[in-house]
Chains A and B, each alone.
Chain A
Amino acid sequence: MGGARGVPVAGRTMTDARALETGVAPAADPGAPGRSLWHRLEPTILGTTSIVVLLVVWELLPRLITVSAGTKLFFTTPSQIAGTLWRLFATGSIWTPLGVSASGFALGLSLSIVVGLPLGVLIGRSRTLNAMLDPFITAFNATPRLVFLPLLMLWFGLGLEMKVVIVFIGALFPILINTYEGVRNADKTLINVVRSFGASEWDIARLVVVPNAMPYIVAGLRLAIGRAVLGVVVAEFFGSESGLGVMMVQAAGRYQVDVVFSGLIVFAVLSLAMTAMVQVLESRLTRWRPQRAGEE
């Protein structure tokens, strides 16, 4: 890819590097020897305390100050949200919208990996393909993907297909561009090593280029998950037949603020779970890296 996209790529990679660092730092820290229990648990205790304080204040606020009935309509409390969440899961009424949202997310993200990873490797390795595809990638990447929404709704309707496509085009570029960057960064000597043993271009990709790009790819995946969730939410807010986002919009129309918050929490928990999964994947895939040695 040419210089036209140099700046956004650099910015992206920086963000990824930071994301990687913050992902690694807390895991490496607790292992440090010679530290007291308090020292090791301090961040956890402080973090938990601030959350608990926030929840308690939120819960008590409506009881301490009097608010008008009209204002009350827009507010809820943690206990109410918890009760609603419990009800949604207990009655099973959340499973259908959750399933719809999750399948849109999973299908779109999988598709973006299946397309983005090989394509990133190809354009990273082939000057011809790079030159041919660069204008499209640059133009697409520079455009906010959500502007395609009306068009996609027109073409694919309000069902699962539209959601998959919007998630796909959102998640594709972080994976594609990061894979490309990682591939360009491959060690020339290592490529020569496998070539000297008669490796084909496929062997080079399999044995050197992709393992070498793995940290970049995982960082791209992390970004892609965020974009994919965003795609699901936006698609469901602005035009879908069903899904968690639709449930939230409909609840907001009925002033069911607790249901809106429940949907929000489910989205947040799912995103956190996905991020945690990527972290596990990352530590498994990069076991060979020196900075990981201390943890084992």
Chain B
Amino acid sequence: MPAYISGRNVNLTFRPPNRGPVRALQNFDIDIGEGEFLSIVGPSGCGKSTFLNVLLGLIKPDSGDIRMDGKPLAGPGTDRAMVFQEFGLLPWRTVQANVELGLELKGMGGDARRKLSQPLIEMIGLSGFEGHFPHELSGGMKQRVGLARALATDPNVLLMDEPFAALDAQTRDLMQVELLRIWQTAKKTVLFVTHQIEEAIYLSDRVMVMTKRPGRAKKIFKIDLPRPRDYEMRVTPEFNKLKLQIWNELKDEITV
């Protein structure tokens, strides 16, 4: 599979004003195929979220070559969208206005926006909640809005930064099922950052384990479980074997 997104030798060092420099990424390499679901697991602070922000175009790396569809990456664009960890909903905007944020910034008129946002709000099961404000929603509902907002501009690539970390375990399981359903129909390339190995295996085509800071790709696991996936797969021997393998790679990187 030819890489849809490729990163070569990406280096990034943060230089905060009152502290010493922090090397976030060092010679980081990555290849993501078109339509692939790739997860990244790694210890806290290893630079995985940083790399998502680099791909999103919010942070410029110090050096390295990042290409998308063969073209070098330059700043934010509507071909990529992020689902944020703490949802990142604008609290003063209704559900509908939040979903339409990206469309509005593209300069799309109200009627055209509604035509696109309505089916999305329906898809995430929030019909009737269009006029609600974020504080009136549960965590799961908020992240559905975050997902719909990311999908609204119809990006090719979905970047997900621990999107379900703020949810309780049951809601999280349901959201994973939902995400797979949406991914299967929308056919997006997904880069998914998580702390949870089980979540990574359940969702992904491949799982990348990153080293501790400065982050590099340590090992990539191919997940050959059949699709569509169901909850029962999580208790199969194959699943648990993968879980153990990934954990063994990861645990050396974690310092308590």
Q: What residues make up the interface of A, taking CB atoms closer than 8 Å to B?
A: 189-190, 192-199, 203, 207-208, 211-212, 214, 286-290, 293
Contacts and interface: CB of A to CB of B under 8 A. Distances in A.
B77 interface: yes
A197 B153 contact: yes
Nearest to A192: B58
B4 interface: no
Contacts of A211: 90, 92
Contact of B91 (A194, A195, A203, A288): A288
A190 B58 contact: no
B57 interface: yes
Interface on chain B toward A: helix, strand, loop, or mixed SS?
loop
A195 B102 CA distance: 10
Contact of A293 (B75, B90, B93, B135): B135
Contacts of A290: 135
Contacts of B92: 211-212, 214, 286, 288
A193 B135 contact: no
Given A189-B88, A207-B90, A211-B92, A199 B135 contact: no
B88 A190 contact: yes
A198 B153 CA distance: 12
B88 A197 contact: no
B173 to A, nearest CB: 25
B105 A288 contact: no
Given A192-B53, A290-B135, A198 B90 contact: no
Interface string B81-104: 110101010111100000001100
A196 B91 contact: no
B125 interface: no
A193 B105 contact: no
A63 B87 CA distance: 70
A193 B78 contact: no
A189 B105 contact: no
A288 B135 contact: yes
Contacts of A288: 91-93, 133-135
B36 to A, nearest CB: 21
25 contacts: A189-B88, A190-B90, A192-B58, A192-B84, A193-B88, A194-B101, A195-B58, A195-B76, A196-B56, A196-B58, A196-B81, A197-B76, A197-B102, A197-B106, A197-B153, A198-B77, A198-B78, A207-B90, A211-B90, A286-B92, A288-B91, A288-B92, A288-B93, A288-B133, A289-B91
